[in-house]
Amino acid sequence: MTTNYELYKVFYWAAKTGSLTQAAKALYITQPSVSHAIKQLEESFGLTLFYRNSKGVALTQEGVSLYSYIEQSQILISLAEEKMAALKSLDNGELRIGGSDSLFKHYMLAYLEEFHVLYPNIKLHLSHGTTPEVITFLKEGKIDLGVVRMPIVDPQLEVRESIQLKDCFVAGERYAQLKDKVMTLEMLLEHQLILFSRNSRVRMAITELFNSYGYTLKPEIEVGSVDLLIEFARRGLGISYVTREFISKELEEGSLFEIQLDVSLPPSHVGIMTKRNMPISLAANRFMDLIFKTE
C-alpha cells in the first residue's frame, strides 16, 4: 500500500474535476505528472480507479469507493488549514492562564481587558488556585501560563520576572492607637493577626521572616481570600498582612493604615511561568508580549 499522500491528493482532484488537465491546473503540476501519480496509486492497490470517457475520466466502482473516503479526508484537511490560518491571525483559539484570585483581580485584569479588546475571538479560560496548584495545572497541560509569586525553583519550569510587589501589615480604625508607633515584631505578635492560608507564597515568605528573627507566627484568623484580609482589617477583627499595591484605595481613603515596623519587609515579585522546552500558543505569546512591552 502507498504511504505517499500526495498521490491521494492527485486522485482527489482528478475525480473531483473529471479531467486530468484540470487536476494538473489545480495542483500546479503537469498532466503527465497527474497520469503518473494515478498509475502509481492504481498499481499500489492492484485496481483500476479511472476509465476514460468523452469528457475526460470517470471513476470505476472501486474508484468511487476510494473517493468516498478520500473526499472526507480532504474536507478535514481543508478545515484544518482554515483553523491554522485562524489561529495564526488570532481570529480563533483560546488563552488559558492559572493564578490566584488576587493576582487576577489586582494585576492581570487590565492586561486581560486589553487582550480581549485586541483579540475578541480568543476565548479566555482562567484557572484559580494557589501557587502549588497552578504549577500542577501547568505541568498537566491544563494552562498555557501561570501567574505566581516568586521565587519558583523547578527545573521543569521557566519563570520570567514581572512586577515587584510590597507586602505590609495594615489595620483599621479600631487600632488607631498604633498609627504613630514604630513596632517591633514582638509587639506585633501581641495583637490578633490575620494571614492568608498556609500554602500561599505570601504566607510562606512572612513566616520565614519571623522565623529568621526567632519568632513563631501564629495567626488567630486564616483566610483564603485577599478581599477577606482587607475586609477583616477594615472591620477591626485584627491586623492583616496584605500587598500594598492591592489596597491603595483603602490607604488613600483612610479606612486602613499601614503598621510601621522597625524591620524591613522584603519585596516580592510576580513571575509569568511556562513549561520549559515546550512551545506555547501564539495567543499566549501575544499575551506575554502585551505584559512585558507595557511594563
Which DSSP string corresponds to 173-186?
GGGGGGTTPEEPHH
Strand bridging mode 123-128 / 94-99: parallel
What does each of the 295 residues of the chain score in pLDDT, given as a tens digit? 556 889 999 999 999 999 999 999 999 999 999 999 999 999 999 999 999 998 899 999 999 999 999 998 888 888 788 778 777 878 888 999 999 988 999 899 999 999 999 999 999 999 998 888 999 999 998 999 999 998 888 999 999 999 999 999 999 999 999 998 999 999 999 999 999 887 788 888 899 999 999 999 999 999 988 899 999 999 999 999 999 999 999 999 999 999 999 999 988 899 999 999 888 888 999 999 999 986 5
Domain count within the chain: 3
- Tens digit of each residue's pLDDT (9 = 90 or more) over 267-286: 889 999 999 988 888 899 99
End residue of a domain, out of 40, 63, 88: 88
Does 282 lie in the same domain as 258? no
Give CA separation, 182 vs 60, 178, 186, 216, 248, in Å: 94, 8, 12, 20, 21
Residues 23 and 144 both lie in one domain: no
The verdict on 189 and 58 lying in the same domain is no
Angle 31-45/20-27 helices, nearest 10 degrees?
110
Q: What is the CATH number of the domain that holds 152?
A: 3.40.190.10
Asked if 105 and 59 sit in the same domain, the reply is: no
Same domain, 189 and 258: yes
Query: Domain limits at 129?
Result: 94-163+270-294
- Compute and round to an integer the Cα radius of gyration of the chain: 32
Q: Which residue among 63, 88, 113 closes a domain?
A: 88
Give the end of a domain, one of 70, 88, 106. 88
> E-strand spans in 203-284?
221-223, 239-243, 257-258, 260-261, 268-275
Same domain, yes or no, for 102 and 11?
no
Kindly report, residue by residue over 122-156, the tens digit of the pLDDT: 999 999 988 889 999 999 989 999 999 988 889 99
